[in-house]
Amino acid sequence: MSNIQTILVKSDDPDVTSAVSAALSEAEGFRVIYCRDDRCALRRLEEVEVDMILCDLDPDVPERENALIRSRLAHASCARIVIFGPEMMEEGLAMFERTASFMYLLKPLDPKQLGVVVKRGLEHAELARRHRILSRELKLSLDDEIFGREPGGSVAGGISQFERLVYASPKMAELVAEAKIAARTNMPILIQGETGTGKELLARAIHFNSERMNSPMHSQNCGGVADDALHSELFGHVRGGFPGAISDRLGLFRAADGGTVFLDEVSEISPQFQIALLRFLQEGEVKPLGSDKVMSSDVRIISASNKSLEALVEQGRFRRDLYYRLRGFMLEIPPLRERPEDIPVLTRFFVEKYAGVVGRRVLGVTSEVLKQLENYSFPGNVRELETEVQRMVAVAEQGGYIALRHLSERIRRTRAPERAEEGWMPEGATLKEKVESLERMLVSRKLAEHRWNQSRVAEELGLSRVGLANKIKRYGLRREAGHV
Ligand SMILES: Nc1ncnc2c1ncn2[C@@H]1O[C@H](COP(=O)(O)OP(=O)(O)OP(=O)(O)O)[C@@H](O)[C@H]1O
Ligand SMILES: [Mg+2]
């Protein structure tokens, strides 16, 4: 929710607009935007962060231009109220249901009722927002219970854990070692890595391994949040400090005093906000919106980005001075495809997690499944692996193993050499041996690609069928169980 309570009213009915202006005066702290039609409303929704939309139903507007329907999809946290006359009861109620609106109001509008409903609607949206944050915290603490293991230790079988981060690869071991050093300091930390690599998990692990562990850690996603909203979330605001500030809000910098603030998608903040953040990092001073009292706050900033901030600095889109401030320590989480050693341990870990959650008995995954997972490139990284395992656990037979048929199509179809090829080096001492090893690789790749359709492969490689059969025999190539 934006800090400024902006209400968009879509109506061409003068009775509606006059009731609204009587009910929602600016003095009470509302910024009201009037639009005569849906087209105008849609445009304004794109331009301004709107907290609530009051929509006078117009049955002639086609669905894709309907501001109420569109706002539900594109601006999910914006509260909705539908207005219609008694003669449109049926369509009105249908629209109310369909758009999950907070309330509907019948014409003629009563300004008193309208005022009360709008205020309740806004409070409701704010509670929903807080509820979302708390549920997320709760989910994370449930995770803690499931895996209530010793933090930081090494678990059996070469698997290591840093809080809830599981890994076995040397690359991650190195990163975690660095993270532990960074945790002990008070410096800001910048975590970079592709989506789903575990940036947030690492940030939490750092917090819980720092001296700040007994103070709170608060997270703020900076992506797609308007400046004033971000300002109020982080620095807070005072009641009446600006139109729509119904009550005080303690910003996260103050709420996390003594602890950590995690700024996710930090690359997305505007040039103006970059200045505000830089100032905070330099002075540690917090001035809530609408207040002239300056307060101080001692928090450590951990920020995360899936874009390279350095590249943004080069392009002039991110302040260099801020970049240097943020990267007291810089931790880069490698993508999952660069640390395949982590795939088996993560898979086992997630099987255990989800089998526990849904109360299913799954014995494990077959080695073919593991192999196939290791061959896949995981553009969505660990998150994608986690979702895949979660799905497989749900569809696997009770008491059985997760087998190839449980894998989703895109992973089942990955061909083994695809990735191996990158680092592929011919084997053998002599040129002849090296050439043969290359030939073996090429033939086996083609066979896998065409699922052992030998006529196709022979044709594509310019061999006769007998010639291909000879090579298959000579190199001992066999069709793998997974390739049906
Ligand atoms: N090493 C790991 N061990 C266990 N779980 C992991 C690990 N890495 C990531 N995960 C899990 O993968 C999911 C994604 O992790 P997280 O949200 O930390 O990624 P992210 O880098 O912040 O992603 P995004 O850039 O999309 O925000 C989470 O459910 C997290 O628990
Ligand atoms: Mg994240």
Pick the range with the lowest mean pLDDT from 23-37, 62-76, 146-160, 237-251. Answer: 146-160
- Spell out a b/e string for 102-137, using b for 16 or more CB atoms within 10 Å of the CB, else e: bbbbebebeeeebbebbbebbeebbeeeeeeeeeee
The minimum-distance atom of ligand 1 relative to the CA of 349 is 4
From 164, 175, 201, 332, give the residue whose CB has the most ligand 1 atoms within 8 Å, as the site to mutate.
Answer: 201
Residue 96 pLDDT level (bands cut at 50, 70, 90)? very high
Q: What is the pLDDT of residue 448?
A: 84
CA-closest residue to ligand 1 atom 25? 195
Report the candidate in 218, 223, 215, 224 with the shortest Cα–Cα distance to residue 236. Answer: 218
Cα 360–chain centre separation: 28
What fold is seen in the domain 427-474?
Answer: Arc Repressor Mutant, subunit A (1.10.10)
Indicate whether residue 306 lines ligand 1 (CB < 6 A).
yes
pLDDT of residue 222: 95
> What is the C-alpha to C-alpha distance for residues 126 and 19, in angstroms, rounded to an integer?
25
Is 167 close to ligand 1, i.e. is its CB under 6 Å away?
yes
pLDDT interval class at 80 (50, 70, 90)? very high
| pLDDT the model gives residue 244 | 65
Does pLDDT of 318 surpass 90? yes
**Averaged confidence pLDDT in the chain:** 86
State which ligand 1 atom lies nearest to the alpha carbon of 167.
1
User: Which residue has its alpha carbon closest to ligand 1 atom 23?
Assistant: 196
Q: Is the pLDDT of residue 27 over 70?
A: no
Residues of the chain with CATH 3.40.50.2300: 6-124
**Is the CATH code 3.40.50.300 the one for domain 6-124?**
no
Mean pLDDT along residues 82-90 = 95
Closest CA to 111 of 6, 32, 171, 222: 32
pLDDT of residue 481 exceeding 60, the answer is: no
Q: How confident is the model at residue 46 (pLDDT cuts 50, 70, 90)?
A: confident
How remote is the CA of residue 393 from the centroid of ligand 1, in Å? 19
Atom of ligand 1 nearest to the CA of 143: 31
State the ligand closest to the CA atom of 202. 1
Looking at residue 248, what is its pLDDT? 74
pLDDT digits (tens, 9 = 90+) for 138-159: 655 555 554 444 444 444 456 7
pLDDT classification of 242: cutoffs 50, 70, 90: low
Structure tokens at 225: 């949040």
Buried b (16+ CB within 10 A) or exposed e, 422-436: eeeeeeeeeeeeeeb
**Is the CB of residue 332 below 6 angstroms from any atom belonging to ligand 1?**
no
Identify which of 148-162, 403-417, 418-432 has the greatest average pLDDT. Answer: 403-417
By percentage, how much of the chain surpasses pLDDT 70?
88
Structural domain 170-334, CATH architecture:
3-Layer(aba) Sandwich (3.40)
Contacts of 395 (CB under 8 A, 6+ apart): 406
Helix (H, G, I), strand (E, B) or coil at 165: strand
Which atom of ligand 1 has the smallest separation from the CA of 306?
25
CA of 343 to the centre of ligand 1 (A): 13
pLDDT value of residue 356: 75
- Greater model confidence, 26 or 313: 313
Compute CA 175 distance to the chain's CA centroid, rounded to the nearest angstrom.
Answer: 22
Tell me the C-alpha distance between 170 and 449, whole Å: 32
Out of 150-154, 439-443, 447-451, the most confident range is 439-443
Distance of alpha carbon 19 from alpha carbon 465, whole angstroms = 84
User: Is residue 103 within 8 Å of 121, Cβ to Cβ?
Assistant: yes
- The CB of 482 under 6 Å from ligand 1? The reply is no
Q: In this structure, are residues 306 and 194 in contact, taking their beta carbons and an 8 Å threshold?
A: yes
**Where does the pLDDT of residue 484 fall: very low under 50, low under 70, confident under 90, or very high at 90 and above?**
very low
Alpha-carbon distance of 122 to 226, in angstroms, equals 18
**Which SS3 state, helix, strand or coil, does residue 42 take?**
helix
d(CA 281, CA 299) in angstroms, rounded, equals: 9
pTM over 0.85: no
Mean pLDDT to the nearest integer, 239-259: 79
* Cα 199 to ligand 1 centre (Å): 6
Tokens of residue 27, six digits: 């003095």
* Residue 166 Cβ < 6 Å to ligand 1: yes
Read off the pLDDT of each residue in 282-297 and give the average, rounded to a whole number.
Answer: 86
201 CB under 6 A from ligand 1?
Answer: yes
Whole-number pLDDT of residue 311: 95
- pLDDT of residue 86 exceeding 70: yes
Choose one of 176, 332, 386 to mutate for the ligand 1 pocket test, by most ligand atoms within 8 angstroms of C-beta. Answer: 386
Which of 143, 200, 221 to mutate for ligand 1's pocket (most ligand atoms within 8 Å of CB)?
200
| C-alpha triplet 433, 439, 440: angle, nearest 5° | 90
Tell me what pLDDT residue 184 has.
Answer: 94
Are 370 and 404 within 8 A, CB to CB?
no
Say yes or no: CB of residue 193 within 6 Å of ligand 1.
yes
In the chain, CATH 3.40.50.300 covers 170-334
Please tell me which of 44-53, 167-176, 418-427 the model is most confident about, judged by mean pLDDT: 167-176
- Could you tell which of 191, 350, 382, 385 is best to mutate to test the pocket of ligand 1, judged by most ligand atoms within 8 Å of the CB? 382
**Ligand 1 contact, 302 CB (< 6 A):** no
Q: Which of 48, 49, 79, 27 is nearest to 240 (CA)?
A: 27
The CATH number given to 337-414 is: 1.10.8.60
Closest-approaching ligand to the CA atom of 136 = 1
Residues of the chain with CATH 1.10.10.60: 427-474
Answer yes or no: is the C-beta of 121 below 6 A from any ligand 1 atom. no
Is 165's C-beta closer than 6 angstroms to any atom of ligand 1? yes
Q: In this structure, are residues 331 and 190 in contact, taking their beta carbons and an 8 Å threshold?
A: yes
Q: 108: cis peptide before it, omega within 30°?
A: yes
Q: CATH 1.10.8.60 spans which residues of the chain?
A: 337-414
Arithmetic mean of pLDDT, 132-136: 67
Q: What is the pLDDT of residue 133?
A: 67
Which atom of ligand 1 lies at the shortest distance from residue 203's CA? Answer: 18
The lowest-confidence range among 185-199, 313-327, 380-394, 395-409 is 395-409
pLDDT(376) > 60:
yes
